[in-house]
Structure 1
Amino acid sequence: MKCPCNPSKQYEDCCKKAHQNIQSVATAEALMRSRYSAFVLADIDYLQKSHHSKTRPSKREKEEIFTWTKSVEWIKLDVLQSTKNTVEFKAYFYENGSLNVIHENSFFEKEDNYWVYKNAL
């Protein structure tokens, strides 16, 4: 299977490693890519684990995110730029027959010795 975050790579050689062991993620960009793949695969447990404890969605929000991720068709991810702690990206998806894009500059930091998503800037 091609990796959702980068179709030129195989999932097993890319985001699967992060999904199986979040501590293996070396950079904020790698974490962001693994989170995009988790959205595509509806891996809500990984999304929760990779989200900062202070900004992590509640159990009710987790269920809503799961339902939403299953209701859209993910198209592609474009990473526009990244720094040590930020990643600007566009994630494209179809929802109700319309092409949509999430354009975000995300902030990441380490918590419990691994990278996590904290918030959008």
Structure 2
Amino acid sequence: MQLQRPCPCGSGTSYDACCGRLHRGAARAETAEELMRSRYSAYAVGDLDHVFRTWHPRTRPDDLAPDPALTWTGLRIVAAGEDWVEFVASYERDGQPGELREHSLFERRGGRWVYVSGRP
């Protein structure tokens, strides 16, 4: 099923043409920023399998559980380098707005980008 709705990552293209293709495994992220955007979108659409698959095995949790009270509402990239991305992700939890600010680190592993860690 193709989704023509806008991609949650804010790219301005459709979900299917942007992060959806990465979620389906039809393409790989070519940059750390593209992977970070796809991970944000995965949280936004509830595809935690993609989040898990793209997390470095050394640092990922054993399991990921959705937070039904949380709705992701927007993403802003502050800055990005070859293997890092600084971003602000907006959300609502129980009707209250909030933001997650993070400086994320990524690594190429087996030809694929993976998320390693993040700090505020």
Same fold (TM over 0.5): yes
1:14 is the counterpart of 2:12: no
**Identity over the aligned pairs, expressed in percent?**
33
For 2:71 and 2:46, locate their aligned partners in 1 and report how far apart those are by CA, in whole Å: 11
- RMSD of aligned C-alpha atoms? 1.4
TM-score (norm. length: structure 1): 0.89
Is the 8 Å Cα contact of residues 85 and 108 (structure 1) preserved in structure 2?
Answer: yes
Amino acid at match of 1:86: W
Gaps of 5+ in 2: none
For 2:26 and 2:92, locate their aligned partners in 1 and report how far apart those are by CA, in whole Å: 28
**Cα distance, 1:6 vs structure 2:** 1.3
Gaps of 5+ in 1: none
Q: Could you say which structure has the higher helix fraction?
A: 1
Structure 1 residues 30-74: Cα deviation after superposition (integer angstroms, max 9, x where no partner): 000000000001111110001000011112xx12xx2x1x32121
Is the 8 Å Cα contact of residues 50 and 116 (structure 1) preserved in structure 2?
Answer: yes
The match for 2:8 is 4
Counterpart selection for 2:100 from 102, 105, 109? 102
1:41-80 equivalent positions in 2, closer than 5 A: 41-59=45-63, 62-63=64-65, 66=66, 68=67, 70-80=68-78
For 1:57 and 1:46, locate their aligned partners in 2 and report how far apart those are by CA, in whole Å: 14
Amino acid at match of 2:117: N
Is the 8 Å Cα contact of residues 21 and 27 (structure 2) preserved in structure 1?
Answer: no
1:36 is the counterpart of 2:34: no
Task: Determine helix, strand or coil for the equivalent of 1:79.
Answer: strand
Amino acid at match of 1:28: A
For 1:47 and 1:22, locate their aligned partners in 2 and report how far apart those are by CA, in whole Å: 16
TM-score (norm. length: structure 2): 0.89
The match for 1:120 is 118
